[in-house]
A and B are shown apart, each in its own frame.
Chain A
Amino acid sequence: MNKTKERNEHPLDELLRTDRIPHIWCPGCGIGTAFSASLVAMKTSAIDLQKTVMVSGIGCSGRGAGYIKLDSYHTTHGRAIPFATGMKLANPELNVVVFSGDGDLFAIGGNHFIHAARRNIDLTVVCVNNFNYGMTGGQAAATTPCNARTTTTPRGNPETPFNLPFMAFAAGASYVARWTILHTRDLTKSVEEALLRRGFSFIEVLAPCPTSYGRRNKQKPLDTLKAYQERTVIKHACHPAEVQLDFERGITLGKFFDLERPTFLDMYDRTCRPQERIEKSEAV
Chain B
Amino acid sequence: MKPAVLTGEHFITGDVACAEGALAAGCRFFAGYPITPATEVAEHMAVRLPDVGGTYIQMEDEIASMGAVLGASCAGAKSMTATSGPGFSLMMENIGLAICTETPCVVVNVQRAGPSTGLPTLAAQGDMMQARWGSHGHYEIITLAPSSPQEMFYLTITAFDLSETYRTPVLIMSDEVIGHLSERVIIPEANAIKPRSRPKPKGRKDRFKPFQPGPNGVAPMAIAGEGYGIHVTGLTHDEKGYPVMTAEAQEAMLAQLTGKIHRNLEDIIRTEAYRLEDADLVIVSYGVSARSSLAAVDEARQLGIKAGLLKLVTVWPFPEERVRALAERVKGLVTVEINLGQIHLEVQRCAAGRAPAMLVGHAGGAVIPPERIIETLRNFS
* Chain A residues within CB distance 8 Å of chain B: 17, 19-20, 50-51, 53, 55, 65-66, 69-76, 79, 81-91, 93-94, 111-112, 115, 264-265, 268, 272-273, 275-276
Residue pair B234, A89 in contact (C-beta under 8 Å) = no
Residue pair B67, A276 in contact (C-beta under 8 Å) = no
Chain A residue nearest to B227 in the complex (CB): A50
Chain A residue nearest to B101 in the complex (CB): A73
The residue that A76 contacts in the complex, of B61, B65, B93, B229, with Cβ under 8 A, is B93
Binary A-proximity of B243-279 (CB < 8 A = 1, otherwise 0): 1000000000000000000000000000000000000
**B interface majority secondary structure:** mixed
Chain A residue nearest to B56 in the complex (CB): A272
- Residues of A contacting B230 with CB < 8 Å? 71-72
Chain A residue nearest to B97 in the complex (CB): A76
- Residues of A contacting B300 with CB < 8 Å? none
Q: B317 within 8 Å of A by Cβ?
A: no
Residue pair B59, A90 in contact (C-beta under 8 Å) = no
Residue pair B75, A87 in contact (C-beta under 8 Å) = yes
- Residues of A contacting B229 with CB < 8 Å? 69-71
Q: How far is the CB of A171 from chain B (nearest CB, A)?
A: 11
Known: A79-B63, A79-B94, A86-B72. 15 other contacts (CB 8 A): A17-B231, A50-B226, A73-B231, A73-B233, A74-B231, A79-B97, A83-B70, A85-B57, A85-B59, A86-B73, A86-B79, A88-B75, A89-B57, A90-B72, A94-B225
Known: A66-B243, A86-B68, A276-B1. A73 touches B74 (CB 8 A): yes
Residue pair A73, B68 in contact (C-beta under 8 Å) = no
Chain B residue nearest to A17 in the complex (CB): B231
- Residues of A contacting B235 with CB < 8 Å? 74
Binary A-proximity of B50-73 (CB < 8 A = 1, otherwise 0): 110001110111011111111111
For B73, B225, B228, the residue with the greatest tally of chain A CB atoms inside 10 Å of its CB is B225
Residue pair A115, B59 in contact (C-beta under 8 Å) = yes
Residue pair A83, B67 in contact (C-beta under 8 Å) = yes
> Number of contacts between A and B (CB, 8 Å)?
147
* Chain B residues within CB distance 8 Å of chain A: 1, 28-29, 31, 50-51, 55-57, 59-61, 63-77, 79, 93-94, 96-97, 101, 222, 224-235, 242-243
CA distance A76 to B71 in the complex (A): 12
- Residues of B contacting A84 with CB < 8 Å? 71
- Residues of A contacting B96 with CB < 8 Å? 76
CA distance A264 to B31 in the complex (A): 14
Of the A-B pairs whose beta carbons lie under 8 Å apart in the complex, a sample of 25, sorted by A's number, is A20-B242, A50-B225, A51-B225, A71-B224, A71-B225, A71-B230, A72-B232, A73-B74, A74-B243, A76-B94, A79-B63, A81-B64, A81-B67, A86-B70, A87-B71, A87-B75, A90-B77, A91-B76, A94-B75, A111-B60, A115-B59, A115-B64, A264-B57, A275-B51, A276-B1
Residue pair B231, A85 in contact (C-beta under 8 Å) = no
CA distance A81 to B294 in the complex (A): 47
- Residues of B contacting A55 with CB < 8 Å? 71
CA distance A76 to B230 in the complex (A): 17
CA distance A17 to B229 in the complex (A): 10
CA distance A46 to B349 in the complex (A): 61
Residue pair A268, B225 in contact (C-beta under 8 Å) = no
CA distance A93 to B66 in the complex (A): 22
Residue pair A74, B234 in contact (C-beta under 8 Å) = yes
CA distance A87 to B68 in the complex (A): 7
Residue pair B55, A268 in contact (C-beta under 8 Å) = yes
**A interface majority secondary structure:** helix
Known: A76-B93, A111-B61, A268-B55. A86 touches B233 (CB 8 A): no
For B65, B96, B243, the residue with the greatest tally of chain A CB atoms inside 10 Å of its CB is B243
Residue pair A86, B71 in contact (C-beta under 8 Å) = yes
Residue pair A115, B55 in contact (C-beta under 8 Å) = no
Residue pair B64, A112 in contact (C-beta under 8 Å) = yes
Residue pair B75, A74 in contact (C-beta under 8 Å) = no
- Residues of B contacting A50 with CB < 8 Å? 225-227
Chain B residue nearest to A54 in the complex (CB): B231
- Residues of A contacting B67 with CB < 8 Å? 75-76, 79, 81-83, 85-86, 112
The residue that A82 contacts in the complex, of B63, B222, B225, with Cβ under 8 A, is B63
Q: How far is the CB of B271 from chain A (nearest CB, A)?
A: 34
CA distance A75 to B72 in the complex (A): 13
Residue pair B232, A272 in contact (C-beta under 8 Å) = no
CA distance A249 to B51 in the complex (A): 55
Known: A86-B68, A90-B76. A65 touches B231 (CB 8 A): yes
CA distance A273 to B101 in the complex (A): 33
- Residues of B contacting A82 with CB < 8 Å? 31, 59, 63-68, 71
Residue pair B225, A273 in contact (C-beta under 8 Å) = no
- Residues of B contacting A112 with CB < 8 Å? 60, 63-64, 67
Residue pair A72, B231 in contact (C-beta under 8 Å) = yes
Q: How far is the CB of A268 from chain B (nearest CB, A)?
A: 7
- Residues of A contacting B233 with CB < 8 Å? 65-66, 73-74
CA distance A51 to B51 in the complex (A): 26
Residue pair B232, A73 in contact (C-beta under 8 Å) = yes
- Residues of A contacting B31 with CB < 8 Å? 82, 85-86
CA distance A74 to B210 in the complex (A): 14
Chain B residue nearest to A279 in the complex (CB): B1
- Residues of B contacting A65 with CB < 8 Å? 231, 233
Residue pair B64, A79 in contact (C-beta under 8 Å) = yes
- Residues of A contacting B55 with CB < 8 Å? 89-90, 265, 268
